[in-house]
Copies of this chain bind each other. A is one copy, B any other.
Amino acid sequence: MAKALGFTYIANRFYSAGVPKVRAQKYVLNKYFQGEPKKSDFQIIEEELSVLKDGEILTEAEFLSVDPYMRAYMIGYKLPTDMIGGQVAKIIASRNKKFPEGKYVAGSFGWRTHTICNPSLPPKIGFLPTTLLPDISPHPVSLGLGILGMPGNTAHFGLKEICQAKPGETIVITGAAGAVGSHVGQIAKAIGCRVVGFAGSDEKCEYLEKDLGFDRAFNYKTANIKLALKDGAPKRVDCYFDNVGGEISTTIMNFMNYYGRVAVCGSISSYNDDKLPKVTILQPAIVFKELKVEGFLVNRWIDRWDEGINANLKLLREGKLKYNEKIYHGFDNMVDALVGMLRGENTGKAVVKVK
């Protein structure tokens, strides 16, 4: 593949002349996942991109995202289908003045190297708008997939709109070392909450407490959850940000205060199961504690997208929002990255540097 600069030059020249020359690589899903995703579920194919029309841009992916929802969503698509996903890409040719060449966009382009899109139109296979990245130097552009992208807005709106966390309240977060969980905890600290996290290793817990300022973090694989809650949440739990589902969620909901709010962001503990698991019934806790349990997808707030991005950018600039990335390398390693993230290899956001 041509180097970025040379490639841009060629793309411009040929695109302006209306001659398509760019070949994109993309992942096509041929088989529904069973258990963990496998490379053999996919095929990487090449396709020639067509001519840029007025309003369109040509982008080259720099970072591709792997996120938990990818494991759960594909069952809703008819096969074969292009794989879904977000990416941060550089605009290498443009016929849209608002999206000039050389700038970066975040977009729901899927697992592919090059994309032509009209940023004013809804994405073809994903659900998030194509947005120009703000200038975030000296931070890496990959933050457009993390704290300044979909997971960041998931944390922002989930905590503020669904949990409605207030100063002095206690919030518990599962999947606390993940992209969303680690972010939720930091916003909650900035609000003035007591923050308790559950994560999958002692190292992650140490990171949450020492680097991110969580009040307490527990390794759910070794801790007694009830005792951990008594220890970490002496005033019990007002808000629960649920990324994982599973038995731990029932235990936490039974430890909540009256009128507690639960933001159900994901159910990663069950994504790899062919059949949904059984856990202790939630209804008694929900009714007797009058809990409000609400599931949400972040695209609910598409109309307020910039509001979330800007709020997180402000926290970042104030030093109140730290981030960590687990960077996988190479377009060919997307499946390994997805599986690794689902296994919890990442602390913070998992991304793939395309080359």
Contact = CB atoms under 8 A, between A and B. Distances in A.
A278 interface: yes
Interface residues of A, number: 33
Given A292-B292, A294-B293, A281 B246 contact: yes
Most chain B CB neighbours (cut-off 10 Å) among A72, A282, A288, A289: A282
A238 interface: no
Interface string A276-301: 11111111111111111111110010
A249 interface: yes
A232 to B, nearest CB: 22
Interface stretch (A33-41, A201-209, A262-270): A262-270
Q: Copy number of this protein in the oligomer?
A: 2
A100 interface: no
Contacts of A286: 264, 293-295
B276 A278 contact: no
16 contacts: A72-B288, A242-B283, A245-B281, A246-B283, A249-B283, A266-B283, A266-B287, A267-B281, A267-B283, A267-B284, A278-B279, A279-B281, A287-B297, A288-B297, A290-B294, A290-B295
A281 B293 CA distance: 14
A242 B283 CA distance: 9
A167 to B, nearest CB: 24
B300 A296 contact: no
Contact of A283 (B264, B278, B289, B290): B264
Nearest to A266: B287
Contacts of A72: 284, 288
Contact of A278 (B249, B281, B285, B300): B281
Interface in A142-175: none
B246 A264 contact: no
Per CB-CB distance, the 8 closest pairs between chain A and chain B, nearest first, are: A245-B283, A286-B295, A267-B283, A287-B295, A278-B278, A293-B293, A292-B294, A264-B286
Given A281-B246, A292-B294, A287 B300 contact: no
A72 B286 CA distance: 13
Contacts of A290: 294-297, 300
A116 to B, nearest CB: 30
A281 B277 contact: yes
